[in-house]
Amino acid sequence: MAQAKTTENTSKLASYDAYFEKVQSRKKLPRNLQEPLTDAFAKIPVSSFPQVPGGKVIEIDAETTIGDAVKILSESNILSVPVKNPAAQNSSDWRERYLGVLDYSAIVLWVLEGAETAAAALSASSAAAAGVGAGSVGALGALALGATGPAAVAGLTMAAVGAAVAGGVAADRGAGKDAPTAADMLGEDFYKVILQEEPFKSTKVSSIIKSYRWAPFVPVATDSSMLSVLLLLSKYRLRNVPVIERGSPFLKNFITQSAVVRGLVGCKGRDWFDCISAHPISELGLPYMSADEVISVRNDELILEAFKKMRDNNIGGLPVVEGPKKKIVGDVSIRDVRFLLLRPELFSNFRQLTVTGFMNTVASATHDATKLATPITCKLGSTLSSVIDTLASKLVHRIYVTAEDDEEVVGVITLRDVISCFIYEPQNFFDNYFGFSAQEMLVK
């Protein structure tokens, strides 16, 4: 067991190295520009970075329900939030005070696991043979039928699985199916239960924060260097970095990828920024991924399939494409799950809802025409400065690169890629600066 865990941790660290090595191999920014930039960021203290809006980091208690947590994320227009341990309110150690970071990614995993657990419960030869009846299968029943995922323990209640069975679903139709396929087999009542009643209303953040964590809680101190933050947000795949003051357990700041890119906009007029950002992205090696590496979703696929692709590939968004040439017609992101959770009455046909149907419903119900507007794209000839401007002004996390003569997606540039463009990791920097404890947190 210990050996397997060590192998898994080594694999995670190796994946970080692989991404950054690929970036460095494709990056065309001269080393004589990267070196002084990296040295400069290593000398800038984290304390100099602008505070979060309002000057106070939003936090939630681990006893908060998932429903209330989604409302906080949505109303505050944030993607993630630190989770406090109610049993350690008076602790002076941040390791005890904070349990982790909750984001939409974790919530999507939880919802998908719910669908997959229900599908597993229905995979027996018949509901009767498996002892499944309306209102009779709870978390333990799902476990007995082979559903061993965290959601089975976290609270896929009797009502949810019972509703799927009572809806007239033949058990053998769900056999061996994954979430998207099984979704079409589950009764509408299942989704009404899981999204409107249970376990959505009663499951606490504490139940899923560790099982579904994409974002480990890896803080830096106010006197740390900005280079450490930039590396955590790029090479080490973190979407946010908590900031603490040495000797204090309270968060002083919460630096996100978006905030860093907005900070780059403020660097316009500085020689180092202008001489780099004036170049077309193709001259800088962007996009770092090739056309065949771009993961997309067809507009006629189920929306649940889109969320599953994000989960399986550990990414936060997908271009929506149509036709054999994969013309981009829209995009969906991990944060769009909030519409399913906060406005479930809009999606009574969720089991048959396509990506296009989802985007149309959201646009109509929220009067958010951007869901149907022209997707945010750029061309290979676009300058890095214009790409950074778009990412910052549109408040998006990725921009899709399209072919010069049509709207075929040939690449994607993320916030992470933009940050990676300006820096490299000095030899032994991670080991010398972060030490073993940070490595341990990153691979959890």
pLDDT band at 129 (very low <50, low <70, confident <90, very high): very low
Q: What is the mean pLDDT of residues 53-70?
A: 91
Q: Would you say the C-alpha torsion 151, 155, 158, 160 has a positive or negative sign? A: negative
Helices (H), 122-209: 139-144, 150-154, 158-166, 179-183, 188-192, 205-208
- Cβ atoms 384, 287 nearer than 8 A: no
Output 245 or 372, whichever has higher pLDDT.
245
Task: State the Cα–Cα distance between residues 441 and 216, nearest whole angstrom.
Answer: 6
Structure tokens at 373: 């507007």
pLDDT band at 350 (very low <50, low <70, confident <90, very high): low
Helices (H), 290-367: 303-313, 337-342, 355-366
| pLDDT computed for residue 175 by the predictor | 37
The percentage of residues in the chain with a pLDDT greater than 70, rounded to a whole number, is: 69
Would you say residue 330 has pLDDT above 70?
yes
- Cβ atoms 264, 418 nearer than 8 A: yes
- Cβ atoms 177, 235 nearer than 8 A: no
| pLDDT tens-digit readout, 362-420 | 888 766 665 556 789 999 999 999 999 999 999 999 999 999 888 899 999 999 999 99
Task: State the Cα–Cα distance between residues 245 and 260, nearest whole angstrom.
Answer: 20
Q: How many other β-carbons are positioned within 10 Å of the β-carbon of residue 160?
A: 31
Task: State the Cα–Cα distance between residues 395 and 180, nearest whole angstrom.
Answer: 29
Q: What is the mean pLDDT of residues 228-257?
A: 92
Starting at the earlier edge strand, list the strands of the sheet with 80-84: 60-61, 80-84, 98-103
Output 101 or 187, whichever has higher pLDDT.
101
| pLDDT computed for residue 400 by the predictor | 96
| pLDDT computed for residue 171 by the predictor | 37
Angle, CA of 196, 198 and 203, to the nearest 5° = 110
Task: State the Cα–Cα distance between residues 4 and 87, nearest whole angstrom.
Answer: 32
Task: State the Cα–Cα distance between residues 406 and 27, nearest whole angstrom.
Answer: 25
82-96, 132-146, 401-415 — which is least confidently predicted?
132-146
Task: State the Cα–Cα distance between residues 148 and 117, nearest whole angstrom.
Answer: 8
Chain mean pLDDT for the chain: 77
Alpha carbon 268 to its chain's center: 29
Would you say residue 283 has pLDDT above 90?
yes
pLDDT band at 114 (very low <50, low <70, confident <90, very high): low
- Cβ atoms 117, 183 nearer than 8 A: no
Would you say residue 195 has pLDDT above 90?
no
Ramachandran quadrant class, 205 (left: phi over 0; alpha: psi -120 to 50; beta: rest): alpha
Three-class SS state of 246:
coil
Ramachandran quadrant class, 431 (left: phi over 0; alpha: psi -120 to 50; beta: rest): alpha
Amino acid at 180: P
- Cβ atoms 309, 363 nearer than 8 A: no
| pLDDT computed for residue 341 by the predictor | 74
Q: How many other β-carbons are positioned within 10 Å of the β-carbon of residue 129?
A: 9
Output 212 or 57, whichever has higher pLDDT.
57
| pLDDT tens-digit readout, 217-240 | 889 999 999 999 999 999 988 999
Closest CA to 27 of 429, 437, 444, 420: 420
Task: State the Cα–Cα distance between residues 236 and 19, nearest whole angstrom.
Answer: 9
| pLDDT computed for residue 200 by the predictor | 63
Q: Would you say the C-alpha torsion 301, 304, 310, 311 has a positive or negative sign? A: negative
- Cβ atoms 398, 415 nearer than 8 A: yes
Whether this model's pTM surpasses 0.85: no
For the chain, the distance separating the N- and C-terminal CA atoms, rounded to the nearest angstrom, is 15
Residue 96: which residues within 8 A CB-CB, separation 6 or more?
85, 88, 249
| pLDDT computed for residue 102 by the predictor | 92
Would you say residue 437 has pLDDT above 70?
no
Closest CA to 70 of 382, 337, 375, 354: 337
Closest CA to 375 of 296, 260, 280: 296
pLDDT band at 194 (very low <50, low <70, confident <90, very high): low
| pLDDT computed for residue 222 by the predictor | 93
Would you say residue 442 has pLDDT above 90?
no
- Cβ atoms 155, 198 nearer than 8 A: yes
The percentage of residues in the chain with a pLDDT greater than 90, rounded to a whole number, is: 39
